[in-house]
Chains A and B, each alone.
Chain A
Amino acid sequence: MEKHKNSAGWTEAGYNLFAREGLEGIQVERLARILQLNKSGFYHYFGDLEGFCLELLELHKKNVNIFIEELHGIKKLDPDYLHLVISHAKTAMFQVQLIRSQGNHFLYAASEMVDQKVQVAIRDLWCDYLDVPSDTDLGMRYYAMVQDVFYTRISFPNLNYTFLHDMVTDAKSILDDISDRRVLETAGRRY
Chain B
Amino acid sequence: MEKAKNSSIWTEAGYDLFAEEGIEGIQVERLARILNLNKSGFYHYFGDLDGYCDELIRLHERKAASYMSDLIGIRAIDPDYLNLLVNYKTEIMFHLQLIRSKDNQLFYKTAEKLDQQEETLLGDLWADYLGIQGNPSLAMRYFSIVRDVLYARLSFKNLNYSFLHSLIVEAKAIMQQMTDAKELKASESVF
B-contacting residues of A (Cβ < 8 Å)? Answer: 24, 99-100, 102-103, 130-133, 138-139, 141-142, 145-146, 148-149, 151-153, 155, 157-158, 170-171, 174-183, 186
With contacts A141-B170, A145-B146, A152-B99 known, is A102 near B132, CB below 8 A? Answer: no
Q: How far is the CB of A2 from chain B (nearest CB, A)?
A: 36
- Complex CA gap A182/B180 in Å reads 9
Q: How far is the CB of A190 from chain B (nearest CB, A)?
A: 10
Minimum CB distance partner of B177 in chain A: A138
With contacts A178-B142, A181-B138, A183-B186 known, is A145 near B171, CB below 8 A? Answer: yes
Minimum CB distance partner of B103 in chain A: A155
Q: Are A151 and B152 in contact (CB under 8 A)?
A: yes
Q: Are A138 and B183 in contact (CB under 8 A)?
A: no
A-contacting residues of B (Cβ < 8 Å)? Answer: 24, 99-100, 102-103, 130, 132, 135, 138, 141-142, 145-146, 148-149, 151-153, 155, 157-158, 170-171, 174-175, 177-183, 185-187
> Interface SS of chain A: helix, strand, loop or mixed?
helix
Q: Are B24 and A24 in contact (CB under 8 A)?
A: yes
Minimum CB distance partner of B152 in chain A: A148
Chain B contacts for A157, CB-based, 8 A: 102
Chain B contacts for A170, CB-based, 8 A: 141
Q: How far is the CB of A144 from chain B (nearest CB, A)?
A: 8
- Residue pairs across A and B with Cβ atoms less than 8 A apart, 14 shown, are A132-B181, A132-B182, A145-B174, A148-B148, A149-B145, A149-B148, A152-B152, A153-B148, A170-B141, A174-B138, A175-B179, A178-B138, A179-B183, A179-B186
Q: How far is the CB of B18 from chain A (nearest CB, A)?
A: 14
Q: How far is the CB of B30 from chain A (nearest CB, A)?
A: 14
Chain A contacts for B138, CB-based, 8 A: 174, 177-178, 181
Q: Are A100 and B145 in contact (CB under 8 A)?
A: no
Chain A contacts for B100, CB-based, 8 A: 100
List 10 additional A-B contacts (Cβ < 8 Å) besides A141-B170, A178-B138: A100-B100, A102-B153, A103-B155, A152-B99, A152-B148, A178-B130, A178-B142, A179-B180, A179-B182, A182-B132
Which listed residue, A151, A152, A158, A175, touches B182 by the CB 8 Å rule?
A175
- Complex CA gap A181/B132 in Å reads 9
A-B contact count (CB 8 A): 88
- Complex CA gap A69/B81 in Å reads 43
Chain A contacts for B135, CB-based, 8 A: 181
Chain B contacts for A141, CB-based, 8 A: 170, 174
Q: Are B174 and A174 in contact (CB under 8 A)?
A: no
- Complex CA gap A170/B141 in Å reads 9
Chain B contacts for A146, CB-based, 8 A: 145
Which listed residue, B158, B174, B179, touches A182 by the CB 8 Å rule?
B179
Q: How far is the CB of B126 from chain A (nearest CB, A)?
A: 12
Minimum CB distance partner of B187 in chain A: A183
Chain A contacts for B158, CB-based, 8 A: 102
- Complex CA gap A153/B148 in Å reads 8
With contacts A99-B152, A138-B174 known, is A174 near B103, CB below 8 A? Answer: no
Minimum CB distance partner of A22 in chain B: B24
Q: Are A174 and B142 in contact (CB under 8 A)?
A: yes
Q: How far is the CB of B174 from chain A (nearest CB, A)?
A: 5
Which listed residue, A133, A142, A155, A177, touches B174 by the CB 8 Å rule?
A142
Q: Are A149 and B141 in contact (CB under 8 A)?
A: no
- Complex CA gap A131/B179 in Å reads 11
Chain A contacts for B103, CB-based, 8 A: 155
- Complex CA gap A146/B174 in Å reads 12
